[in-house]
């Protein structure tokens, strides 16, 4: 069976977008996944595109990256505690059905798996997706998104966590986190430092 090159199959990104949006429409429970919603996925796709533009990726690499961005959290609907692995399996089946080259399928899967915390990306595409996934660490949206993540965490893990305990957890995460691409380091580090300062100030109150 002849496989297709992603560089000449521009429909892959659009079909990925349509598929993921359909899955969210059917299975997303807003009362549970309050942070990992379609808005988050769209934000990651947007950030990935922004970083990709800076690095002037080839058509093939761009398609691999954006497909991975659309699928990176789809595994939450199968198993929220192993969602990267489940998402990788989903995208493998999706792309195999479209006769995409197995080598490129493997690269998409690797991008998704690289977003598992602690992040350990091995190449530029993985670095871009990792930075896109946590892009909000350096934006004004961090405060509101963090509140949603706390609510989701309490539901998924079935335990309460105080605001201060969550802020301490968030402070530790942001303080230990490093953006992987030079682009994100330059563009987002300043915003992240402001969010770190905000967390420290809240903990002193």
Give whole-number Cα distances, 96 to 83, 88, 131, in Å: 20, 12, 27
How many other C-beta atoms are found inside a 10 Å radius of the C-beta of residue 7?
15
Of 10, 152, 24, 14, nearest in space to 80 by CA: 152
Q: Distance between CA 78 and CA 138 in Å, rounded?
A: 29
Give me the sign of the Cα torsion angle 166, 170, 176, 177: positive
**Cα(58)–Cα(34) distance, integer angstroms:** 35
Q: Which domains does the chain have, with CATH numbers?
A: 6-204 (1.10.3210.10)
Extract the tokens encoding 11.
């429909």
**pLDDT digits 0-9 by tens, 176-205:** 999 999 999 999 999 999 999 999 999 987
Residue 156 in tokens: 């998924």
Cis peptide leading into residue 118 (ω within 30°): yes
What Rg, from alpha-carbon coordinates, does the chain have? 17
Per-residue pLDDT tens over the stretch 138-181: 999 999 999 999 999 999 999 999 999 999 999 999 999 999 99
* pTM (predicted TM-score): 0.94
Residues 90-99: tens digit of each pLDDT: 999 999 999 9
């Amino acid at each position: 069976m002849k496989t297709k090159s992603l560089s000449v199959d521009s429909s892959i990104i659009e079909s990925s977008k349509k598929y993921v949006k359909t899955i969210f429409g059917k299975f997303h429970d807003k009362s549970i996944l309050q942070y990992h919603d379609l808005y988050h996925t769209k934000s990651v796709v947007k950030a990935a595109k922004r970083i990709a533009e800076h690095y002037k990726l080839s058509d093939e690499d761009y398609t691999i990256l954006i497909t991975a961005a659309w699928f990176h959290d789809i595994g939450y609907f199968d198993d929220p505690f192993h969602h990267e692995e489940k998402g990788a399996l989903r995208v493998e089946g999706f792309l195999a059905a479209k006769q995409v080259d197995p080598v490129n399928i493997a690269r998409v899967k690797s991008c998704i798996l690289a977003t598992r915390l602690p992040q350990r990306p091995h190449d530029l595409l993985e670095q871009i997706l990792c930075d896109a996934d946590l892009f909000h660490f350096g934006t004004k949206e961090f405060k509101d998104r963090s509140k949603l993540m706390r609510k989701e965490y309490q539901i998924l893990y079935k335990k309460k966590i105080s605001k201060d305990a969550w802020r301490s957890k968030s402070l530790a995460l942001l303080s230990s986190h490093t953006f992987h691409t030079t682009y994100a380091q330059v563009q987002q580090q300043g915003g992240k430092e402001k969010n770190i300062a905000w967390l420290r100030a809240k903990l002193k109150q």
